[in-house]
Amino acid sequence: MYFDRSNLSDTELLSFYRALLYPRLIEEKMLLLLRQGKISKWFSGIGQEAIAVGATLALEPDEWIMPLHRNLGVFTTRNMPLSKLFMQWQGSENGYSKGRERSFHFGSRPYHICGMISHLGPQLSIADGIALAHQLKKEHKAALAFSGEGGTSEGEFHEALNVAAVWGLPVIFLVENNGYGLSTPVSEQYHCNSLVDKAVGYGMEGVQVDGNNLLEVYQTIRTARAYAVKEQKPVLVEAMTFRMRGHEEASGVKYVPPELFEQWSKKDPVMQFETFMQEIHLLNTESIESIRQELKHRIEEEVAKGQETTPLVVNTDNELADIYAPAPPVVSPSGTATEKRFIDAITEGLQQSMEQYPELVLMGQDIAAYGGAFKITDGFLSRFGKERVRNTPICESAIVGTALGLAIGGFKSMVEMQFADFVSCGFNQIVNNLAKIHYRWGQTADVVIRMPTGGGVGAGPFHSQSNEAWFTHVPGLKVVYPSTPEDAKGLLTAALADPNPVMYFEHKALYRSISGPVPEAYYTVEIGKARLVQSGDDISIITYGSGVHWAMEYAAAHPEISIAILDLRTLLPLDYTAISEVVALTGKVLVLHEDTLIGGFGGEISAWIAEHCFHLLDAPVIRCASLDTPVPFASPLEKNFLSKSRLDKCIQQLTRW
């Protein structure tokens, strides 16, 4: 094996050797502790260390890396203390994630490492966002994301590479091709000759390297980094290697032909580099043994220190408190108010937030010159420029991942789903990355996703869904749903000010049909605070969005019934105090929403009232929801579908109790 030591001193080569050997010896120790039951699980990278170590050495210390679960060498080469890593692997409160994550599913801002999620592919588009942040700051830096060869089959791989290429982002996509997924061989994973062949399809440079050659990996990534930074373009690197142990220790290796182990054991990266170092007379048998013993002693000391950690003490209040990052204080309305349509209030809130936060970036399909499908961002391109108002390819998942990367890079972002229905294509990034990252390792996800939602406009099953309940089940998200122009502006500005991920639902049927007074100056409406629309004595309607207007119309048309109406405004977190107060007003409660009945958010409200306000009730809680069918296209069918058509029946039923 040829090793290119160009421009590397003897001191650097010896340092490289230590960096390569250290994770190998740690792994050997961890496998022993695994058998002793002192750690619960281990994903071995034995045989692949040269890739993680070489790539990390090639980057600047403050350049972000998105590793996976077989990249111990990234963490050790970034000099993360083994004692604390060991606490992490034990699930200790003193680890990097307070016991909330296992193995390498964590990140650390001081070390510029972004923790993975088990879905693998989403790491790639986070690198896009971090690289975009570097680009917007005019920083000469790159981001690097790892993938296995199995991860290249995921849609996120295509989306992330396509975005990086189209936007010209300094990202290095590093694929560790070790021949197998868990047990699936590459012959069943892809059909091209090599994964690097895919680079040309995205219009980017690609190179294949010997992943077991430390210096080849180092020199290649170093060159790729220089190219990516200078040319502002991505690079795909395929590192050929082999996994000498199972996917994880419980998996075994029976599915691997024995001759492959014999073949690849001769290419062991540590052994090969030791041989090279001996050939150039920088190491000999005695010095190798001395370094090994030194590192083993260091490992024993660090593990002993890691075992001194105190037992984890469960504190439920702390668990709940870490779901969200602290939100900024509310900015009260001031000055004059003018009559505005619902859609214009959204535009104004977005525009004023762009002025308030120079680090705010807007992303979405057709939002730039075209102004968006509903023209909400019309004129924004000329006012704020193409760096901050960005058309995206049709790839919802990668853009949400990019938004998270921007947050890691210190930016805010707004992602517009052209229709709320299309969010399903970005669901994984939202519920597994955005929602969980602050709880997992304290990283904020400063992202707002605008969701044009709802029916009543004859748009059919794929442009009319009310899918807010998909997200109210996910801890870590905030879900807001305004019904008035004033709240539309104030809740949007509050969402954009909030460092937490916010799903902002805006009903399409309200865009141009509803008007109201809106303060002209910048202000925010508190997220998590409901609004009592009107008081009443006979029944209480708890609702949100279009349901507020249906309830108000019904109340106006039926003055003989005294109806209290509560506009939730925020679905997550819920204003339980306001709910209990409106229940107490009448003792009879109707929960109204446009979503379908089964699994709709009304079920959660009804259950909470039954559990906590039973003593206040004079009748069962009744839910009024849309039919449990897809949203039909034809107007008569859609009217029959919507819960509004059953509102009178439900109210009459409730008043009879």
Q: Which positions are annotated as active-site residues?
A: 463
- Give residues with Cβ within 8 angstroms of 234, minimum separation 6: 131, 161, 164, 165, 169, 170, 171, 172, 173, 202, 204, 205, 228
Containing H/E element for 363?
strand 360-364
Report the C-alpha gap between 650 and 513 in whole angstroms. Answer: 26
CB contact at 8 A, 383 and 360: no
Long-range contacts of 510-514 (CB under 8 A, 24+ apart): 510/342, 510/483, 510/545, 510/546, 510/549, 511/341, 511/342, 511/343, 511/374, 512/341, 512/342, 512/343, 513/342, 514/341, 514/342, 514/483, 514/484, 514/485, 514/549
Between the two ends of the chain, the Cα-to-Cα distance in Å is: 85
Q: Which tokens sit at 259?
A: 């001759």
- Distance of CA 601 to CAs 32, 400, 468, 482, 546, Å? 49, 24, 8, 15, 14
Select from 179, 176, 144 the least CA-distant residue to 51.
Answer: 176
The three-state (H, E, C) secondary structure of 198-231, written as one string: HHHHHCCEEEEEECCCHHHHHHHHHHHHHHHHHH
**Alpha-carbon distance 280 to 553, whole Å?**
87
Residue 324 · residue 478 · CB < 8 Å: yes
According to DSSP, the residues that pair with 453 across neighbouring strands are 507
Say how many C-beta atoms besides its own lie within 10 A of residue 511's C-beta.
20
Query: Which pair of tokens denotes residue 263?
Result: 């073949």
Say which amino acid occupies 351: Q
* Torsion angle of the four alpha carbons 216, 221, 222, 228, in this order, in degrees rounded to the nearest 10: 150
The secondary structure of residue 113, as a DSSP letter, is: B
Q: For residue 509, with 0-12 CB atoms within 10 Å meaning exposed, 13-18 middle and 19 or more buried, which class applies?
A: buried
What is the distance between the alpha carbons of residues 397 and 126, in angstroms, rounded to a whole number? 10
Query: How far apart (Å, rounded) are the C-alpha atoms in residues 215 and 392?
Result: 37
Cα–Cα distance for residue pair 152/202, rounded to 1 Å: 14
What is the DSSP secondary-structure string of 445-467?
A: --EEEEEEE--SSS--TTS----
- Please count the other Cβ atoms lying within 10 Å of the Cβ belonging to residue 117: 18
Vertex 23, ends 247 and 438: CA angle to 5°? 70
Closest by Cα among 125, 140, 114 to 225: 140
